[in-house]
Amino acid sequence: MIQLRPYQQEAVDAVYDYLRAHDDNPCVVIPTAGGKTPVMSTICRDAVLQWNGRVLILAHVKELLEQAADKLRSICPEVKFGVYSAGLRRRDTEHAVIVAGIQSVYKRACELDAFDLIVVDEAHMIPPSGEGMYRQFLADAMVVNPRVRTIGLTATPFRLKSGMICGPPDHHILNAVCYEIGVKELIRDGYLCPLVTKAGIQKADTSSLHIRAGEFMADEVENLMDSNELVEAACREIVEYTDDRHAVLIFASGVKHAQHIQRVLRDRHDQECGLVSGKTPTAERDEILARFRGGQCDGLFQQQPLKYLVNVNVLTTGFDAPNIDCVAIVRPTMSPGLWYQMVGRGFRLHPGKANCLVLDFGGNAIRHGPVDQIRVCDAANGNGKSGEAPAKECPQCHALIAAGYSSCPDCGYEFPAQERTNHDAEASTEGVLSGQVTNERIAVRDVFYTVHIKRGADEDAPKTMRVDYKVGWHEYKSEWVCFEHEGYARWKAEQWWLARSHDPIPDSAERAVDVANAGGLATTKSIVVRRVAGDPYERVVDYELGPKPEAVACDPVDMYDPDEIPF
């Protein structure tokens, strides 16, 4: 019998406490790869052996049904269970526990007879309203047994258009989250794999994409992301960052886009890349996935492992490949659940796997937030629309700031009313966990120095020297050096200057710019940009500098108090 982890036992106990104290339906939230199936299997065992009950497990994909059946065999071999699934070619109806595919049973509640508990795996798939398969089956099951209780398990307790999946019984099947544990806690305790992110180069503008039913229109997304420039840049970056990785799962925006990625990896980088889509024949798909998992196919023969695998909308929920140590998301999505599920493919632990690298080429970390602090819409806030992005980039100073700002707190830029935000289609450096610090060293092409006056400030307000580091053809990183301020800001400005110049420290931003533009500062070769996930700002925190130049010939009257001049 499997020994539950402490948080799994807490989840089981929370379900029982809820069922005793309430007459509606609870939901358990455990992250992807955190082990929902042992929780589900334990509940089934207790219901049958302790309370003489009958349980139905519902899921929507074959892989989840197979996982549930395997765990039931190992956790409670003394419980007789059956399987009802057309995909698995089983139609059992007489057992104490039945594992069923919703597509196979949604019209057959009466045929399966009464259940005391219905456990729904991936419960966010239950639609919020209408006559979907889950709702039709659960309504019929309550006719067969009005006292039946439903328990939901999910990693993502929210839907794309309507917000959280739990609510009042008059509108929701599930009514309250009775237990929840987060991604960071499980990483901290060693149950999930740490995540790291890397930055990209190429950007794509998604502001022109139209939204239908709460998601970007698929054909427009594919046309945008399938450009030669973006695909070649993304593939070049993927190969560069994954030299020491073993299993790289790539999410494409469409079949044509996936084929393009596969072709570039093969022709330009000499890397074999498998491709799986909804149209891939079952036998071919099984062989590709076996190779991607390490090379063994059905335990019968060994094949060459496959390092790169690109897929289109198929390897999210229910796909289990613990060896994945890089997830490259080459598509934007408006769905917080899909963003989480894609990142979650790298959560599982595996021997020799220190962490999982996440390359986000779709601006999704900025759009939805870190995976442990995903921002979701509320249906009451706008007819199910996703609303404004939780973060946006200032076009003047390139700071990442909260979407609610009407002006940039760093540089004072005034955002036009109802401005639509451009989202990165590069591999974003926004961390995928809140509080996660990412440092990126970037080569500097050129540096520009100007006097900056904060928008709306009084005439006598302190000015700053704005430093713009050109790091790409049209990309800049900026910082502000505060010579006219007092206290810590002035001290930082002094240290900044002393590291770069033999000239005396200026007392004004204007004087600092004059010396800088006259060649009085050391060349900046590279900078380190620090980002903290969940923090809307990025900071320049380190530099690689050239030698200090000789002091420039400047009029000292502009730099010192006249009383201090020795003549």
Q: What is the pLDDT of residue 320?
A: 80
Q: Which residues have C-beta within 8 Å of that of residue 59, sequence separation ≥ 6?
A: 65, 68, 99, 100, 101, 102, 120, 121, 122, 318
pLDDT digits (tens, 9 = 90+) for 238-250: 999 999 999 999 9
pLDDT digits (tens, 9 = 90+) for 352-410: 999 999 898 888 887 877 776 665 544 433 334 444 444 445 554 334 344 545 555 44
Residue 25 — very low, low, confident or very high, per pLDDT cuts 50/70/90? very high
Give the Cβ contact number of residue 502 at 10 Å.
13
pLDDT at 297 over 60: no
Residue 282 — very low, low, confident or very high, per pLDDT cuts 50/70/90? confident
Q: What is the pTM of this model?
A: 0.66
Give the Cβ contact number of residue 70 at 10 Å.
12
Q: What is the pLDDT of residue 566?
A: 36
Map 438-490 to HEC letters: EEEEEECCEEEEEEECCCCCCCCCCCEEEEEEECCCCCEEEEEECCCCCHHHH
The β-bridge relationship of strands 437-443 and 524-532 is antiparallel
- Structural domain spans, the chain: 6-181, 195-364, 437-564
Q: H helices of 29-61, where?
A: 36-49
Q: What is the pLDDT of residue 424?
A: 44
Mean pLDDT of the region 220-230: 91
Q: Which CATH architecture has domain 195-364?
A: 3-Layer(aba) Sandwich (3.40)
Do 6-181 and 195-364 come out as alike in CATH topology?
yes
pLDDT at 44 over 70: yes
pLDDT digits (tens, 9 = 90+) for 250-263: 999 999 999 999 99
pLDDT digits (tens, 9 = 90+) for 61-91: 777 777 777 777 777 788 888 888 877 788 8
Q: Which residues have C-beta within 8 Å of that of residue 406, sequence separation ≥ 6?
A: 414, 415
CA-to-CA distance for 424 and 430, rounded, in angstroms?
10
pLDDT at 321 over 60: yes
Which CATH class, in words, describes the domain spanning 6-181? alpha beta
**Does residue 528 sit in helix, strand or coil?**
strand
CA-to-CA distance for 222 and 230, rounded, in angstroms?
11
Question: What is the residue-wise DSSP string for 264-317?
Answer: HHHHTT---EEEE-TTS-HHHHHHHHHHHTTSEETTTEE-----EEEESS-SST
